[in-house]
A and B are shown apart, each in its own frame.
Chain A
Amino acid sequence: MRYALALLLVSTLWAAAPPMPRFRWQNFTTADGLPDNKVFSVAVDGERVWAGTDNGLALYEGGKWKVFRPQDGLAHRAVLYVAVDRKTHDVWIATMGGLSRYSAGRFDTYTQLNSGLSNDVVYGVAVQDDEVWTATAAGASRLNTRTGQWTLYNERNTPMYEIWTYAVSPGKEKVYFAVWGGGVLEYDVKNDRWKDYNDPDGETEIVLFKDQGLIHEITTSVSYVEKDKIVWVATYFGASRYDGRNWRNFLDQDSGLPSNFLNQVKAVDGNRAWFSTDKGLAYFDGRNWSVYRPSLETGRPEMLIRDQAGRVTRLDVPSAPAHHYVYGVDFQGDDIWVATAKGLSHGVAAKAE
């Protein structure tokens, strides 16, 4: 009887809240074959899922995990980011000890000693056509895989007054960098021009001029949607969306973000994006928000929905991502994979009712 009442309550709440993506969460930890529970990055390549962890790179294929470590050729055990070349299906791996390429069983490693890579601490990597872009602790690098030429970007040839680049999101025409403490950098590929975007109020702890520029200088992630010409930005103090003219900022007090501390933003398109925060995974569909996490108080799975009017509905759900501290996501059709501090989660999309 009690179960039936609970179900009725949930159903009623579902009916009241706007329809948001729902998932059945399957969580993977070291018990399932992951090399480490601290998963910094996840990248989907068709049926294959790559996970970058604190202790190696893992590949999920055919229901099994395969682990790669430095003895297999990986540059370093701590894998911070993973990117798939959509044309060749080679995998580029950003680590604390250099950049690796995994291609059909072979690792090739690029370091600051054996190649033109700017620094061995590689936070982000992305592939655009024949070019591999990296964000490192000493600026950004671009490798042309056809010619082997490296081009470095730092304080000497860009407006990058901090060189601690954290993430990169390239398009054919423009490339965006998240510079930790230095805002966002935009590179116009065709015209070889740079533009920087910074917090207009210059305050590191408060927001004086909301929606008048980037929310904060300490940026951790960018996601550029070239078809819509929209760039999304994640910072440790909120999120931003820029359409080339107007900024829109998101804070936990006036949006559905569960926290202003963001590790990643990943866009679906110009209006929709996923936010990886220290207090859960959030989704914004352009009007409404949803949050997926184990409850911060009880640890029980929960889902929060915030509608356009700011009404929040809290739902008890059967499952949640492995942890509320989320590093990043990637998409597999309607499914989502989530890298967390306590495991990797596969959100299997629920069928629409």
Chain B
Amino acid sequence: MRRALTFAAVTAAVAAFAWLLAGAGAQRYLSPIELVLSPDDAHLYVVCEGSDELAVVDVKSGKVLRRVPVGHTPKGLALSPDAKFVYVANSWSDTVTEIDAQTLSVVRTLDAGFEPTSVLADRAGKTLYAANRIGGNISVIDLASGVEPKRLAAGRGASYLVGSPDGRFIYGTHIYPNPGPHRTPPQSEITVIDAGRQVVTDRWRMHNVAGVFHAAISADGRLGIASQLRPKNLIPLAHVAHGFVIGNSLTLFGEDVGESVQVPIDEVERYFSLPFGVAIAPDKRAAYVSTSGSDSITVLDLDKLLGMLRRAGARERARLANDLSASVNFVAARIPVGSNPKGIALSSDGARLFVANRLDDTVSVIDTGARKVARTISLGGPAGLTPERRGERLFHSARFSFQGQFGCASCHLEGTLDGLAWDLEPDGFGIDIVDNRLIEDVANTGPFKWNGANPDLETECGPRTEKYFFRSQSYSPEQLADLVSFLKSIPRRPNRFRRADGEPTAAQERGKAFYERTRRTDGTPIPEASQCPVCHSGPDYTNRQLTDVGTGKPTDRSPLFDVPQLTNIFLSAPYLHDGSAQSLEEIWTVFNPADRHGVSNDLTKDELNDLIEYLKTL
């Protein structure tokens, strides 16, 4: 607990320092990501993850009334049932900020788990739930005492929480798929929490689904809709032309549909990438989905969609997920909005839809009757665009790929990874399977690609992307420069296992000694090439060389792999070039039989555990 408090204090201090810097002139982009309306629709609360603040907007005038500093990289928010408090999930601070909605002052800061990204108060206003993305769990916080009596096991990448209208259940979605056997279809889940007992009572399986973002429940509680990605990572990316890369789709669940069913929002020749926010009209006649890679809102005619599902037999329903011709039956409109639309919220009468345009620093207000943007509210971000900001827009946009199927962010979800191993190259089935790597703080980690074929990011993201990924137009030289600028600017998130005082734990200290050792436990010397720090050297723990550590598979064209950086390695499972190691342990317990990937077979189990405890701090 003390460690968590120290960590929270330090990250809060970092955030405060960054805030001061911003105030001193280095103004940051706001990057609004989530929003909610007050019950009377008078105020809009907008979480700005770029500026670490909650912006409070007067809906009538469109003016920002107040900016409330919160923790670092806030990503989620919720109102208390009586609307007296606003809760903001500070993902990099591992805290939740409680704000008095009347005075707009911070009441207190609550501890949560690793990277809380969504919060939800129960109907009684006594318990707060926080979905912890890195932790893969859900904090249950007692609001009277402010303590967290228990933490519930969720799926990997717990990301978003939504409650049933009657307050009985809370549903959690996940940005990453659950761990599973190598080269098997991804599986995600909706975690169902009984709010009365505060326990997980069910897990609804989502087959062939990886990234799941928001979910919404209809006012009558009979229909749920979750936005999701269906990656086709088991087949070569050569099938871009056939639309077999990522399906942008929805899962529908609840009494209205019976057995849950997946439906695409893409069309045969046009795709609507990265569905994120979901809202269902009060009369349940329409639903809205922000397609964040396509800068649009997709409007669903629920009468038609539910009617189609009622008429469909079981086999037809099962086929729907991959039937790109289906959406023409129920998509009513595509409404262009700002750049990278994320969270959305409907007014209480359903007449207006508010859209957080993350890379515009604006909120679009859509007249749902006319299905047009009625006005755009500026949240007051910087006027100009830096190269990094332009690059960030390119990174999140799907417009460069064939028929707008996907963008960089479709796999590097929110600038991270997707937890999947892909068959990227058009070299035949199952050749050179590659694990998706974390792209934080990668400026000085070239060459890129697991086989080290790309000496720099310009090569990695330039013609190669055009040829092998997008199969369409690629970036202009100026755009490529912007994109690379953005990639180099993606910061490294805080390490959750390093103590704030800089002192290692006893296990970490022992593990460091194993990492740096030059002799086996029997005293015999370890060849230099097999000593961990020789290859994993420097500030990023990579010597940036190609090395054969015996992990190549018969399906790899070469056993030589780029030495990966180890920073924040704890969060990027699975491991090895092809994602075959499900955990850090398996790198050595399963895939290092001949001691070629470092010398590890003389270590006892507790010594290996110590080594891993150290690696988690890098």
Chain A partners chain B: yes
Chain B residues, Cβ within 8 Å of A101: 153
Contacting B at CB under 8 A, from A89-122, are 89-90, 101, 103-106, 108, 112-116, 118-119
Are B192's CB and A114's CB within 8 A?
Answer: no
- When A103-B200, A152-B605 are in contact, do A145 and B151 touch as well, CB less than 8 Å? yes
Are A90's CB and B153's CB within 8 A?
Answer: yes
Of the candidates A87, A90, A114, A152, the one whose C-beta lies within 8 Å of that of B606 is A152
Minimum distance in angstroms from B219 CB to a CB of chain A: 26
Are B149's CB and A114's CB within 8 A?
Answer: no
Q: How far is the CA of A101 from the CA of B200 in the complex (A)?
A: 13
Stretch in B77-85, B206-214, B451-459, B583-591 touching the partner: B583-591
Are B153's CB and A114's CB within 8 A?
Answer: no
Are B192's CB and A104's CB within 8 A?
Answer: yes
Q: How far is the CA of A106 from the CA of B150 in the complex (A)?
A: 19
Contacting B at CB under 8 A, from A146-168, are 146-147, 149-152, 154, 156-157
Chain A, interface SS category: loop
Of the candidates A89, A104, A116, the one whose C-beta lies within 8 Å of that of B203 is A104
Chain B residues, Cβ within 8 Å of A112: 589, 605
Of the candidates A105, A147, A152, the one whose C-beta lies within 8 Å of that of B609 is A152
Are B585's CB and A146's CB within 8 A?
Answer: no
Q: How far is the CA of A88 from the CA of B113 in the complex (A)?
A: 16
A135 proximal to B (CB < 8 A): no
Q: How far is the CA of A325 from the CA of B589 in the complex (A)?
A: 39
Q: How far is the CA of A112 from the CA of B603 in the complex (A)?
A: 13
With CB as the reference atom, state the residue of chain B lying closest to A129.
Answer: B150
B613 proximal to A (CB < 8 A): yes
Chain B residues, Cβ within 8 Å of A104: 191-192, 199-203
Of the candidates A105, A146, A150, A152, the one whose C-beta lies within 8 Å of that of B151 is A146
Q: How far is the CA of A114 from the CA of B203 in the complex (A)?
A: 23
Q: How far is the CA of A149 from the CA of B610 in the complex (A)?
A: 10
Q: How far is the CA of A151 from the CA of B612 in the complex (A)?
A: 12
- When A106-B189, A114-B585 are in contact, do A150 and B609 touch as well, CB less than 8 Å? yes
Q: How far is the CA of A101 from the CA of B152 in the complex (A)?
A: 12
Are B609's CB and A114's CB within 8 A?
Answer: no
Q: How far is the CA of A101 from the CA of B179 in the complex (A)?
A: 14
Mask of A63-90 contacts with B, CB within 8 angstroms, 1/0: 0000000000000000000000001111
Minimum distance in angstroms from B58 CB to a CB of chain A: 41
A138 proximal to B (CB < 8 A): yes
Minimum distance in angstroms from A101 CB to a CB of chain B: 7
- When A104-B192, A154-B606 are in contact, do A114 and B583 touch as well, CB less than 8 Å? yes
Are B200's CB and A113's CB within 8 A?
Answer: no
With CB as the reference atom, state the residue of chain B lying closest to A130.
Answer: B151
Contacting A at CB under 8 A, from B470-498, are 496-497
B582 proximal to A (CB < 8 A): yes
Of the candidates A88, A105, A108, A119, the one whose C-beta lies within 8 Å of that of B202 is A105
With CB as the reference atom, state the residue of chain B lying closest to A192.
Answer: B506
- When A88-B199, A88-B200, A150-B609 are in contact, do A103 and B497 touch as well, CB less than 8 Å? no
With CB as the reference atom, state the residue of chain B lying closest to A118.
Answer: B605
Q: How far is the CA of A108 from the CA of B149 in the complex (A)?
A: 22
Are B585's CB and A118's CB within 8 A?
Answer: no
B443 proximal to A (CB < 8 A): no
Q: How far is the CA of A114 from the CA of B181 in the complex (A)?
A: 12
Of the candidates B152, B178, B203, B585, the one whose C-beta lies within 8 Å of that of A115 is B585
Chain B, interface SS category: mixed
Are A88's CB and B150's CB within 8 A?
Answer: yes
Of the candidates B135, B153, B507, B586, the one whose C-beta lies within 8 Å of that of A103 is B153
Contacting A at CB under 8 A, from B173-203, are 178, 189, 191-192, 197, 199-203
Are A116's CB and B585's CB within 8 A?
Answer: yes
- When A104-B192, A146-B113 are in contact, do A113 and B151 touch as well, CB less than 8 Å? no
Minimum distance in angstroms from A90 CB to a CB of chain B: 6
Q: How far is the CA of A138 from the CA of B586 in the complex (A)?
A: 19
With CB as the reference atom, state the residue of chain B lying closest to A101.
Answer: B153
Which of A108, A130, A149 has the most B CB atoms < 10 Å from its CB? Answer: A149
Which of B189, B192, B589, B609 has the most A CB atoms < 10 Å from its CB? Answer: B609
Chain B residues, Cβ within 8 Å of A157: 606
Minimum distance in angstroms from B130 CB to a CB of chain A: 13
Mask of B585-618 contacts with A, CB within 8 angstroms, 1/0: 1100110000000000000111011001100000
Q: How far is the CA of A146 from the CA of B149 in the complex (A)?
A: 12
Chain A residues, Cβ within 8 Å of B582: 114
Chain A residues, Cβ within 8 Å of B152: 88
Q: How far is the CA of A138 from the CA of B609 in the complex (A)?
A: 14
Minimum distance in angstroms from A41 CB to a CB of chain B: 22
Q: How far is the CA of A265 from the CA of B135 in the complex (A)?
A: 36
With CB as the reference atom, state the residue of chain B lying closest to A46.
Answer: B197
Are A113's CB and B589's CB within 8 A?
Answer: yes
Chain A residues, Cβ within 8 Å of B586: 113-114
Are A114's CB and B589's CB within 8 A?
Answer: yes
Mask of B149-170 contacts with A, CB within 8 angstroms, 1/0: 1111100000000000000000
Of the candidates B192, B496, B507, B585, the one whose C-beta lies within 8 Å of that of A151 is B507
Of the candidates B135, B192, B612, the one whose C-beta lies within 8 Å of that of A146 is B135
Minimum distance in angstroms from A75 CB to a CB of chain B: 14
Chain A residues, Cβ within 8 Å of B203: 103-106
Q: How far is the CA of A147 from the CA of B497 in the complex (A)?
A: 8
Minimum distance in angstroms from B149 CB to a CB of chain A: 7
Chain B residues, Cβ within 8 Å of A151: 507, 609
Q: How far is the CA of A133 from the CA of B183 in the complex (A)?
A: 32
Are B149's CB and A113's CB within 8 A?
Answer: no
With CB as the reference atom, state the residue of chain A lying closest to B152.
Answer: A88
Contacting A at CB under 8 A, from B120-164, are 135, 137, 149-153
Of the candidates B153, B202, B496, B609, the one whose C-beta lies within 8 Å of that of A116 is B609
Which of B189, B199, B608 has the most A CB atoms < 10 Å from its CB? Answer: B199
Q: How far is the CA of A104 from the CA of B199 in the complex (A)?
A: 9
Q: How far is the CA of A104 from the CA of B149 in the complex (A)?
A: 20
Q: What are 17 A-B contacts with C-beta separation under 8 Å?
A: A87-B149, A88-B150, A88-B152, A88-B153, A88-B199, A88-B200, A89-B200, A103-B153, A103-B203, A104-B203, A105-B202, A106-B203, A113-B586, A116-B609, A145-B153, A150-B609, A152-B609
Additional A-B contacts beyond A89-B197, A90-B200, A116-B608 (8; CB < 8 A): A90-B153, A105-B203, A112-B589, A116-B605, A116-B609, A147-B496, A149-B507, A154-B606
